[in-house]
């Protein structure tokens, strides 16, 4: 490729995957790799909190947050995803908007919490995206981020980069995101690993977090915004 617009290419690719995602999202959130995320958020975010679901996909995770009693807005880069979300959740009091995590369409300090699952590893400059998340989050607000681990199948989408080709997946790993979050004045509050079927508890119990993360399909972080 001689020219590459990351945002445009990402939007096109996620639009093309929207139906595929829509067919699988309920299973992922209810019984699959994302089943423990909403209960995890329930432990750390109070009912009535204003929460942004950044990278909401077809909105099923957003819907589950709404059912917890959170005041939630879903946002995704893909217009097709947002259309599916609006169709699925038409009767619920949830707003869905199209937007880019690199330039969030929200006011500063305007939410109490953010959920952003497997989003930052699909951005051109994760550090800039983290600054945007921090900007819209209130002081003391909670940020729940999921980052794909090295064993995740979607990591294959970054492979063309070894040939110098462009791709919409970056190579940031969970331990790199954790360092990035700390450098941007977030405190690590809690976290857990999501592992593939072949990984057993005895394979990672007792290991430090960075080695646990090295075995994960994804790592789910709960972070607190410190300072202004």
Mean pLDDT over 23-44 rounds to 97
Buried b or exposed e, range 61-81, using 16+ CB within 10 angstroms: bbbbbbebebbbbbbbbbebb
Q: 117 exposed, middle or buried (CB, 10 Å; 0-12, 13-18, 19+)?
A: buried
pTM: 0.96
pLDDT tens-digit readout, 77-120 = 999 999 999 998 877 789 999 999 999 999 999 999 999 999 99
Q: Per-residue pLDDT for 75 more than 50?
A: yes
Which of the four pLDDT bands, split at 50, 70 and 90, describes residue 7?
very high
pLDDT tens-digit readout, 176-227 = 999 999 999 999 999 999 999 999 999 999 999 999 999 999 999 999 999 8
Provide φ and ψ at 137, rounded to 5°: -90, 135
Nearest one of 148, 125, 111, 121 to 225, comparing CA atoms? 111
Cβ atoms of 67 and 20 within 8 Å: the answer is no
**Domains by residue range for the chain, with CATH:** 6-225 (3.40.50.150)
How many CB atoms neighbour CB 98 within 10 A?
A: 15
Provide φ and ψ at 79, rounded to 5°: -65, -35
CA distance 142 to 133: 10
Q: Per-residue pLDDT for 23 more than 80?
A: yes
pLDDT tens-digit readout, 129-187 = 999 999 999 999 999 999 999 999 999 999 999 999 999 999 999 999 999 999 999 99
**Cα angle for residues 37, 42, 46 (degrees, 5° grid):** 145
What confidence score (pLDDT) does residue 1 get? 43
pLDDT tens-digit readout, 119-128 = 999 999 999 9
């Amino acid at each position: 490729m001689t020219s590459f617009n990351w945002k445009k290419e990402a939007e096109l690719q996620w639009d093309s995957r929207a139906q595929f995602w829509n067919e699988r999202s309920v299973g992922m959130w209810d019984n699959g790799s994302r089943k423990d995320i909403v209960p995890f958020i329930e432990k750390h975010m109070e009912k009535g909190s204003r929460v942004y679901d950044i990278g909401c996909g077809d909105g099923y995770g957003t819907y589950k947050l709404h059912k917890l009693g959170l005041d939630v807005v879903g946002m995704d880069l893909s217009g097709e995803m947002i259309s599916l979300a609006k169709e699925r959740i038409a009767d619920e009091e949830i707003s869905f908007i199209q937007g880019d995590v690199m330039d969030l369409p929200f006011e500063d300090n305007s939410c109490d919490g953010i959920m952003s699952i497997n989003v930052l590893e699909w951005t051109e400059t994760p550090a800039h995206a983290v600054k945007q998340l921090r900007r819209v989050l209130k002081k003391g607000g909670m940020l729940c981020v999921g980052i794909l681990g090295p064993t995740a199948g979607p990591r294959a989408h970054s492979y063309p980069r070894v040939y110098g080709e462009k791709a919409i997946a970056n190579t940031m790993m969970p331990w790199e995101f954790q360092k990035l979050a700390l450098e941007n004045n977030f405190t690590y509050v809690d976290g857990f690993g999501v592992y593939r079927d072949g990984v057993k508890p005895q394979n990672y119990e007792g290991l430090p977090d960075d080695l646990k993360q090295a075995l994960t399909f994804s790592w789910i972080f709960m972070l607190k915004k410190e300072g202004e």
